[in-house]
Copies of this chain bind each other. A is one copy, B any other.
């Protein structure tokens, strides 16, 4: 008899946790991802801001699953799911399943204004990160070349849209890059005079965090020289910059860190999604009416008892992945199904800049240098291999001691 075939779409934190949980199960696991690598997304902003190299925070999915004999990896794009025939279509080929885990993550959404994407790229993949790095560094190079003061001001204005963790981390890192790392390297311009503007439609940054930490974050950003525009929605992005409400802001570099839009999983299944494109799942992480499908991570909208939404962060995806592995074993190997899934809070972390970070965990509120060191240690700890830990620590030590950034490369085609 052949073993049950479990197909996991997406090799992010959730998908890999599900695969790992099935290591000793009597099933055949297929992990499908359109990239060949698992990405440590929490540090992606450091690639975009020239602090780390892509390979420092990414690992081939194949290597990660090398020793798991019941798993194979397909690099390819899922274009459709057929729940009636239990088939996933990968690059045009049918891949049959007995159990399906959708862990396809989220991408950035432009609230229906997809034409903004060309002017305000988002940050989800390594290619996004190196493209943003190129734009950022090219702006300074062009400013150094220009003799037109207006052009120069436009080039030295950087706008980040979205005051969540990614937006805050980008704004802080870009301010430090401009004011410290680049400051001594130019002759015609003074990069320290760069305007870094963080625009957030809501009333505060880090809306998921306790208010006291949002307030601290706003102060810490201001200390770094970041201009904060709260309660001001971006109404337009074009080649010249952005419109914030009625006002125009001239900028050559706009980065989009708002509006998460989930993957097309809902469309594949022909079921409803919420405004952010996520699929509502039961407390067993399944879409209603699909006994052999599980949806986890940023693709799912799941709530804890009491209706508290589970946030779109790595610990949630990991716990959900481990949970669905147990549920799949129960279903296909027999045994009692696990009780409904409850997310156990692992805390919220965000970093603003050197010696400034915030941590909220249960009743604990941490901010400042201690939070920053804990943030760094936690992120190094979660990197996959000792080699990557050594390399990231080396890069960080250098940055800490010398304000240098190791990956100030302009690569890829010019815009």
The answer for the CA separation of A59 and B407 in the assembled complex, in Å, is: 8
The number of times this chain is found in the oligomer is 2
Let me know if B75 and A141 touch, CB within 8 A.
yes
Check B411–A126 contact: CB distance below 8 A: yes
Contact B387 A55 (CB under 8 A): no
Report the separation of the CA atoms of residues A145 and B72 in the bound assembly, to the nearest whole angstrom: 11
- Shortest C-beta distance, A206 to chain B (Å), equals 30
A:58-116 near B, CB below 8 Å: 58-60, 62-63, 66, 72-76, 91, 93
How long is the Cα–Cα vector from A391 to B391 in the complex, in angstroms?
6
For residue A398, CB closer than 8 A to chain B, the reply is yes
Q: How far is the CA of A53 from the CA of B394 in the complex (A)?
A: 14
Q: Which B residues touch A184, using CB under 8 A?
A: 66
Q: Does A56 contact B (CB under 8 A)?
A: yes
A60-B411 contact, Cβ under 8 Å, with A387-B406, A391-B391, A394-B391: no
Contacts of A144 in B (CB 8 A): 73-75
Assess whether B91 is in contact with A36, with CB atoms less than 8 Å apart: no
- Residues in A23-49 with C-beta less than 8 Å from chain B: 35-37
Residue of B with least CB distance to A72: B187
Which residue from B66, B388, B391, B408 sits with its C-beta under 8 Å from A60? B408
Within 8 A of B (CB), among A170-225: 184-188
A404 and B58 within 8 A (CB): no
Query: What chain B residues lie within 8 Å of A55 (beta carbons)?
Result: 53, 406-409
B36 near A408 (CB under 8 angstroms)? yes
Q: How far is the CB of A312 from chain B (nearest CB, A)?
A: 24
A93-B409 in contact (CB<8A): no
Identify which of residues 386-415 in chain A touch chain B, using a CB-to-CB cut-off of 8 Å. 387-388, 390-391, 394-395, 398, 404, 406-413
